[in-house]
Structure 1
């Protein structure tokens, strides 16, 4: 029983984890992209469409990543090159993604989906309890763990990570040292878009292998909250994602047990938990500021 619950938690947490780790890199560079929801939904519809038309889950994942990158490239051009307001542009990106995905996905409503196969790791998958839970998963779950480890190592153990954090903390000084702030931030934004697209692909190819309009259901906003919850530290994102995944699973199991609680209230639990966590974090000013990139949301215009 507990094994089945944990498996459900992993599937619920994986899209949150991938989207949040991508947004963490974006915000570490000093850019605030509120368009995660829009990029996720575009990844979901493009991943489903391409996988359905080609019969290849791998091509579906690739198409979803490209969709996320394309959306993030549009955002990056507007806020980095044209110095548009980051908050307004991110919100517009979400609205665009939701509307455009509905247009593309109209032809795929009710069409049977292609579910990603499980990848069984010989030997490890036979370990009691932990084997079936962690070593009999689809490719995107394994990628999510690898992404967290790679981002954590890159940010704090490599020169690339040091430069990225320097740009996010003081873009003026980084520019004075000869680093291209715009180029570094643009690459970070593209990485965040790729992660959001991959998270969307997981929703339509693994979590619920079908296309349903607005199937992200606010997960992009929860991913944004997770970045703050984790204090911009990659390893804490795992804790946050699985915590929110567990809250979502609690909602599903409570409805299945036909508890005498309004279903609307149960469905709102993940979002209520998001608000509660943000309130608690905001109340501790020291915790809020300890790892916050100093230039987060601030536009940079190089000297000419």
Structure 2
């Protein structure tokens, strides 16, 4: 039986992915800081791990436990992450660094811990959950988008490094998904930059993100991740969810200034 580790599994995409991989026949380890929120997963036969992706000791213990119990890891789903918005001049650098710790360095450290076991097996799949925000940009989201741009570049280089060992690296680019992410991002943005010089942009972007009522369910992404995990020859990137394909298409064909105008126009419309 193949073994999968899913981070950020206490809610949203991670939680649903753990369920879908379990249905697909995997022994699934669901990892998150909030273990008490994963009781439902444990009831479905999913093995729950307390893991903080900003703690090296926590990650090393978690991977060690999986290897001790199963002897292998076949799929790593790096899903843990969050969005913290605000104007670059307003966001404290400690907050910016923490976002990189969670979204980039935690992901990279788990790769370091898991890759040796996959190399020994001569097989494995690393699925990094990025975002369409790894290809597009928006005002007040500079630090978040920076982390996702970093995940995209890291994944491309990693894919070439691990290819000789039979290990695939896949990037997932969700669009609008009904999770806690949007509410947290908007709350942080209002707290950081609301009421000041950027207040108008805050209100406009909050209105734009308010369209999340039209967002896709987490299962849309969980199904894509499961497909990527199961595919004999997976694609390097999968995009899915509300607005993902139109936004990525627009970014691909429009010059920077034209995309700027498109995005600012959408903000004015919804804000």
Q: TM-score, normalised by structure 1?
A: 0.27
Higher relative CO (Cα under 8 Å, sequence separation at least 6) belongs to: 1
Q: TM-score, normalised by structure 2?
A: 0.29
Higher helix share goes to which structure?
1
Larger radius of gyration: 1
